[in-house]
Amino acid sequence: MAEYICLLNKDTTVIKPAKKTPILLRMIVLMFAMVCGVYICSVCLKQTSIHSKIKFQDIQVVERLSPDDDHGNLQISSVHYPNPETFSRAECAHNPVRYFAILSMQRSGSGWFETLLNSHVNVSSNGEIFSVLDRRRNISSITRTLDKVYNLDWFTSASKNECSAAVGFKWMLNQGVMQHHKEISDYFNRRGVFAIFLFRRNLLRRMVSVLANSYDRHAKLLNGTHKSHVHSTEEAKTLAKYKPMINSTLLISDLKEVEITAAKALEYFNSTRHIVLYYEDLIKNPAKLKDVQAFLGLPLMELMSRQVKIHKGPLSDHVKNWEDVNKTLNGTAYESFLQADY
Ligand SMILES: *[C@@H]1O[C@H](CO)[C@@H](O)[C@H](O)[C@H]1NC(C)=O
Ligand SMILES: *[C@@H]1O[C@H](CO)[C@@H](O)[C@H](O)[C@H]1NC(C)=O
Ligand SMILES: *[C@@H]1O[C@H](CO)[C@@H](O)[C@H](O)[C@H]1NC(C)=O
Ligand SMILES: *[C@@H]1O[C@H](CO)[C@@H](O)[C@H](O)[C@H]1NC(C)=O
Ligand SMILES: *[C@@H]1O[C@H](CO)[C@@H](O)[C@H](O)[C@H]1NC(C)=O
Ligand SMILES: *[C@@H]1O[C@H](CO)[C@@H](O)[C@H](O)[C@H]1NC(C)=O
Ligand SMILES: *[C@@H]1O[C@H](CO)[C@@H](O)[C@H](O)[C@H]1NC(C)=O
């Protein structure tokens, strides 16, 4: 703008010698300079007021994200209002959108949980988008991917329509979350992304599931296709036939490591608005799903999933060297993992 004005002034001085009335011209130049001055001042004033508005909004965001707030205070403010490039928001243009991310670990029920969420007519949870290495190679590719999701420009089979009231995806902690936690939690706080932590209480059952799933990746027990999730009891039985060996030497340290990772994740994101869920609680108490819907500010609905649990019944049925495992955990902090039957 300044350059533009200077050019205009130059033009006037160029014109000057042609005119024969210097006083009148001087008056014109003076007037012009005054008008410009007023204009520049008004532009400056406008910018300062924009700056102060942005600051004010930032402060609001920080306050709203305080984890101490109770559920009653949940407000989806206009800060969450999407600014999509390609997503048509014609019908529900004025519905606010909540951004969320399901932070979890492999074999902790997040696939099942996501199908539950996606059974809600107003939720678009876009799957494990950071399973693709290129999207999490560095923080700038992570940010770019997140922007695309939260600008409602990410399309998957889960993308509903313009009436999504909550948009997110699931993110495994080992897919760059722990590595770039600082930048990611800053991003979450800046854009108002809510974190849904989903963990498993019984880490021994999780370990069995991890081992069985990794075995099936090669063995492909179901007709030569690898399946991480199944939709029928027959398929579940076939997958559960395989009984993994658990290395008892490393068992305790492995369990501890998973426990520490979960605790660290909670600490890293302690300034982000979040809810902590446990797979076992969701299984035992479906009312927990209401908490999730309230957390996301959704109209309450019955949520459903067609997925069938793979490892059912006592764990001793699913581990080859059970006696060994029993002995290793007996008398330790993890002893309860041996009994729990879900
Ligand atoms: C980040 O990763 C992307 C995708 O792999 C790559 O194109 C880009 O050059 C990387 N940027 C930096 C700063 O390393
Ligand atoms: C939920 O989806 C329905 C159907 O698409 C739509 O009519 C309604 O406005 C949506 N509600 C919210 C809160 O977005
Ligand atoms: C397994 O493969 C056979 C032959 O290709 C097919 O007839 C059958 O439907 C398949 N079963 C499942 C569960 O996909
Ligand atoms: C268990 O892990 C340890 C350390 O990696 C290894 O030395 C040992 O051979 C493993 N035991 C079995 C039964 O695989
Ligand atoms: C979050 O964790 C950090 C340590 O990583 C701690 O200093 C801080 O007090 C915690 N904040 C809250 C609100 O718990
Ligand atoms: C479990 O530990 C108790 C003592 O803590 C011991 O008496 C018992 O024999 C142990 N059981 C097994 C299977 O090792
Ligand atoms: C562990 O071993 C002890 C002793 O053999 C047995 O009494 C107990 O039932 C076993 N626990 C489980 C969960 O199998």
Model pLDDT, residue 23: 73
317 CA to centre of ligand 7 in angstroms: 13
142 has a pLDDT exceeding 90: yes
pLDDT bracket for residue 124 (50, 70, 90):
very high
Q: Give nearest CA residue, ligand 1 atom 7.
A: 141
Q: Which of 142, 154, 326 is nearest to 251 (CA)?
A: 326
Distance of CA 47 to the CA centre of its chain: 33
Model pLDDT, residue 44: 47
User: Across residues 2-28, what is the average pLDDT?
Assistant: 50
The ligand 7 atom nearest the CA atom of 315: 13
Least confident of 63-77, 107-121, 143-157: 63-77
341 close to ligand 1 (CB < 6 Angstrom): no
Model pLDDT, residue 157: 76
Residue pair 341/314 in contact (Cβ under 8 Å)? The answer is yes
Q: Which residue has the higher pLDDT, 63 or 270?
A: 270
pLDDT bracket for residue 317 (50, 70, 90):
confident
Instruction: Round to whole Å and give the CA distance between 159 and 146.
Output: 15
The ligand 6 atom nearest the CA atom of 331: 5
Model pLDDT, residue 77: 43
Q: Give nearest CA residue, ligand 1 atom 5.
A: 134
137 close to ligand 1 (CB < 6 Angstrom): yes
128 has a pLDDT exceeding 70: yes
User: Which amino acid makes up residue 247?
Assistant: N
Q: Which of 82, 73, 116 is nearest to 294 (CA)?
A: 73
199 CA to centre of ligand 6 in angstroms: 29
- Sequence-distant (6+) residues with CB within 8 A of 72 are none
CA-based end-to-end distance of the chain: 68
33 close to ligand 2 (CB < 6 Angstrom): no
Model pLDDT, residue 20: 52
Nearest ligand, measured from the Cα of 301: 2
User: Across residues 32-48, what is the average pLDDT?
Assistant: 59
Pick the CATH number of 73-338 from 1.10.3470, 3.40.390, 3.30.70, 3.40.50: 3.40.50
320 close to ligand 4 (CB < 6 Angstrom): no
42 CA to centre of ligand 7 in angstroms: 80
167 close to ligand 2 (CB < 6 Angstrom): no
pTM of the model: 0.76
Q: For residue range 191-201, list pLDDT tens digits in order.
A: 999 999 999 99
330 close to ligand 6 (CB < 6 Angstrom): yes
For residue 116, the number of C-alpha atoms closer than 13 Å in the C-beta half-sphere is 21
Model pLDDT, residue 206: 92
What residue spans define the domains of the chain? Answer: 3-54, 73-338
Largest CA distance in the chain: 109
Q: Give nearest CA residue, ligand 2 atom 13.
A: 165
Q: Give nearest CA residue, ligand 6 atom 10.
A: 330
144 close to ligand 1 (CB < 6 Angstrom): no
User: Which amino acid makes up residue 296?
Assistant: L
173 has a pLDDT exceeding 80: yes
338 has a pLDDT exceeding 60: yes
